[in-house]
Amino acid sequence: MANTYVDVIKKDAVINVPFTTNDVSALQSILIKQLERKVSIDDKSWDIIEEICHRIDKCAKDQNLTESKSIEF
């Protein structure tokens, strides 16, 4: 079976990611919803989380903080 590789953030990497006050407010809003025991995260919250995760991944790649790892299914 052929190996499958994925790019991952290096262990213990320190990634510099710029956040605006709007980003922080959006994340705080999501966290507050969870503290209030909302059953699920709404689509807007998922979009915010996915966008920020994408930015983290991009910043890690731009800062040479990713590596290719072999995975097994």
pLDDT at 18: 96
Question: Sign of the C-alpha dihedral, residues 35, 52, 50, 14?
Answer: negative
**Secondary structure of the chain in the HEC alphabet?**
CCCEEEEEECCCCCCCCCCCHHHHHHHHHHHHHHHCCCCCCCHHHHHHHHHHHHHHHHHHHHCCCEEEEEECC
Residuewise pLDDT in 10s, the chain (73 residues): 678 999 999 999 999 999 999 999 999 998 888 887 766 788 998 999 999 999 999 999 999 999 999 988 7
pTM exceeds 0.85, yes or no: no
pLDDT at 73: 73
